[in-house]
Structure 1
Amino acid sequence: MRCPYCGGSDTQVKDSRPSEDGAAIRRRRVCPDCAGRFTTFERVQLREVTVLKRSGKRVPFDRDKLQRSIDVALRKRAVDPERIERLVSGITRQLESSGEAEVTSESIGELVMEGLKGLDDVAYVRFASVYKNFREAKDFEDLLGTLGPAAGHVNPDAVPPRRKARVRP
């Protein structure tokens, strides 16, 4: 493993332990050249998966890109990082164990939307708006209709009445 600080190729493992979810091994490493310390994660990869993009281009599946997309949708949302990791690992595992060497970007997007729908409604709407390329408010209304009767509607009884501002003489 190359050192991310100096590029040295002779890094040493100081500590290894399973990650929180047990799906990876977390390794603390140190570089003898620059004394830099860093962490790596080792995960099982069942098979190479190729993603067929809408443009027809084929690219290798990138777990980190999936993680970043989900993180963007969940930005500033109070969701436990462990649940996010389980979602990313679950989608990755599902793709690798499907038996297909090639998957479409659409099928990955649908898996992400399905996972986000169960995790956080706001993140689901955020992701869907970019993934489905929403152009007008009607697109949001249609999507909110799929979340259930309470989504997108404000219950007037749940909103406290506004207080009048006091004017001081």
Structure 2
Amino acid sequence: MKCPRCKEVETKVIDSRVIEEGYTIRRRRECTNCGYRFTTYEKLELDIMIVKKDGRREPYNREKLLTGIRKACHKRSISEETIRGFVNELELDLIQRGEKEVSSEYLGEKVMQALKGWDKVAYIRFASVYKEFKDISEFLDQIRELNHDEPKG
């Protein structure tokens, strides 16, 4: 790992910690040349292709998934920790499936299932994009379905 300050190639690890439930390693490093200390993160990389609805394939992108979920959860009471924990679990599920290709529908349904349990507004926001609602009647149908699914108290 190059030093971000002096570009020296030789750095030493002075501390390592496992974070994000074991999915990431945080390393504190020190440059052997200038003594600058910095932090790096080591994450599991998924070598999985996502098959889109139209048949296109693109590499799995954790940040793209996180961005979509964050947009749905904007100004809702869902913590970043909850979102990241869910994505970690989803990635573990993808690894355990052992498949090189996963449909975008599978990912979308997993996200919608989680959002439905966390926050109905976030769920509707995500569903409107994921299901490509064409007009207000599709929103209303989805809201009616949500209300129908809620237990009566």
What's the % identity of the aligned pairs?
41
Q: CA deviation at 1:36?
A: 6.3
Residue of structure 2 equivalent to 1:158: none
Distance 1:136 1:34 in 2: 59
Q: CA deviation at 1:79?
A: 1.3
Residue of structure 2 equivalent to 1:76: 75
Distance 1:72 1:5 in 2: 34
Residue of structure 2 equivalent to 1:66: 65
The question of 1:115 aligning with 2:114 is answered yes
Residue of structure 2 equivalent to 1:90: 89
Residue of structure 2 equivalent to 1:159: none
Residue of structure 1 equivalent to 2:28: 28
Q: Do 2:16 and 2:26's aligned partners in 1 also have CA atoms closer than 8 Å?
A: yes
Q: CA deviation at 1:88?
A: 0.6
| Pairs aligned (count) | 149
Distance 2:107 2:7 in 1: 34
Measured against aligned partners, the alpha-carbon deviations of 1:44-94 in whole angstroms (never above 9, x if no partner) come to: x5x621111233222221122211211111122221222111111111111
Corresponding letter in the other structure for 2:71:
V
Residue of structure 2 equivalent to 1:101: 100
Greater helix fraction, Structure 1 or Structure 2: 2
Residue of structure 2 equivalent to 1:128: 127
Q: Do 1:51 and 1:102's aligned partners in 2 also have CA atoms closer than 8 Å?
A: yes
CA 1:34–1:90 in structure 2 vs 1: closer, same or farther (change >3 Å)? same
Q: Do 2:28 and 2:37's aligned partners in 1 also have CA atoms closer than 8 Å?
A: no
Q: Do 2:28 and 2:39's aligned partners in 1 also have CA atoms closer than 8 Å?
A: yes
Secondary structure of 2:16's partner?
strand
Unaligned runs of 5+ in 2: none
Unaligned runs of 5+ in 1: 152-169
Secondary structure of 1:146's partner?
helix
**Which one has a bigger Cα radius of gyration?**
1
CA 1:99–1:147 in structure 2 vs 1: closer, same or farther (change >3 Å)? same
Residue of structure 1 equivalent to 2:18: 18
Corresponding letter in the other structure for 1:42:
K
TM-score by length of 1: 0.73
Distance 2:9 2:89 in 1: 32
Measured against aligned partners, the alpha-carbon deviations of 1:71-123 in whole angstroms (never above 9, x if no partner) come to: 11112222122211111111111122112211111221111111111122111
TM-score by length of 2: 0.79
* RMSD of aligned residue pairs (Cα, Å): 2.7
